[in-house]
Structure 1
Amino acid sequence: MKINKLLLFFLIATIFSFTSHKYYLSLTQIKFKENAKAVQIITSVFMDDIELALNKDYNIDLQLTTKKELENNDIYFEKYLKSKLSFKVNDIAANFNYIGKEYEGDLVYFYLEIDNINQVKSIDIDNKILIKHFPEQQNLIKSKVGSKNKSILLTKENHQNKFKY
């Protein structure tokens, strides 16, 4: 049933992408890697949206994927993500390490990791990425711990969730 809802969501998102109104969506994928004793996180956002948000918030001019791109832009990305994205693992606040970013098409992928995690019984997430600048922003969260997959769509009004495994 949840898979059907997820497929329906992506179908609707695809339809909206062909209309004149822009659709604001990010995807955060969370996966517990037991052998690495780490929770690995990949967050993808539209490049133009994150660029606009950081330029306004930090009074900078990122100019992503151009010759004029700021060399130290990872400082701003990390600062922004740490202010808009937080986690608890097993009800304990968990700081993530910013590993880096990658550009692909019109998306930016951010790689994050929470280390020294032996097991995962629950993950709390608070995701306010891009909500300040785009009130219609929706942040899809997908998680996998062992064989259990869970997902939720977070919004400005509901930007927190707890996954129990």
Structure 2
Amino acid sequence: MKKSILILSLGILLVGLFSFTALDFFSSMTKVDYIDGTKTLKFTTKLNTGHISQAVKIDPATAGFEAEVKKYVNNNVDVAINGAAKQLTFTGSQVNGESVWVYYEASGVSDISSLKIKNSILIGQFPKQVNIVNITYKGALKTLNFQKGKETAEVTF
């Protein structure tokens, strides 16, 4: 009985201590889908609104925010398919409360045997940033993680 009370008390104490600690979590999530009919790789990236607005130094409610996000993504994401660099086309963004959704694509992709991605989004601003990329290609799902010192990764299909 005393042991149970001690464990319960310790648990309450720990919860109390951690509830006053502000923990920032720095991450982005990108979904990459291959669309066979249009031979396109479609990218959807979810970012924290406060973090991306801090990186581009502009308020997300202003008219120039989308243009700055486009520039930022173009400078921090590169793709090579089968060893050849591919141009990414920014197709839009959407601010939704605490999240910013960014859309871009690579067209003219007929077949993928290797996909190399550089993703340094927010890593320069937040050294603990982790960027996760889930790639779906012809039924196969691959996941890549990017962080400081590991901004480039490659998968094969």
State whether structure 2 residue 95 is matched by structure 1 residue 103. Answer: yes
Report what 2:115 is aligned to: 123
Q: How far is the alpha carbon of 1:105 from its aligned partner?
A: 2.6
* Identical residues among aligned pairs (%): 22
Q: Following superposition, which runs of at least 4 residues in structure 1 exceed 4 angstroms of deviation?
A: none
Structure 2 gap segments, 5+ residues each: 1-17
State whether structure 2 residue 56 is matched by structure 1 residue 64. Answer: no
User: 2:31, 2:21 → 1: CA distance?
Assistant: 27
Report what 1:83 is aligned to: 75
Q: Could you tell me which amino acid in structure 2 is paired with residue 164 of structure 1?
A: T
User: What TM-score comes out, normalization by structure 1 length?
Assistant: 0.80
User: 1:104, 1:124 → 2: CA distance?
Assistant: 30
Report what 1:5 is aligned to: none
For 1:75, what is the secondary structure of its paired residue?
helix
For 2:125, what is the secondary structure of its paired residue?
coil
Tell me the alpha carbon deviations over residues 76-97 of structure 1, each in whole angstroms, 9 at most, x when there is no partner: 1111111111000111100100
Q: How far is the alpha carbon of 1:117 from its aligned partner?
A: 1.1
The correspondence of residues 1-165 of structure 1 with structure 2, limited to 5 A, is 20-55=22-57, 62-65=58-61, 69=62, 71-165=63-157
Structure 1 gap segments, 5+ residues each: 1-15, 56-61
User: 2:155, 2:47 → 1: CA distance?
Assistant: 22
Task: Check the 8 A contact 2:60/2:95 in 1, yes or no.
Answer: no
Tell me how many residue pairs correspond in the alignment: 139
Instruction: Kindly name which structure, 1 or 2, has the bigger radius of gyration based on alpha carbons.
Output: 2
1:154 to 1:19, Cα distance in 2 relative to 1, 3 A = farther
Task: Check the 8 A contact 2:78/2:117 in 1, yes or no.
Answer: yes
User: What TM-score comes out, normalization by structure 2 length?
Assistant: 0.84
Q: How far is the alpha carbon of 1:19 from its aligned partner?
A: 5.5
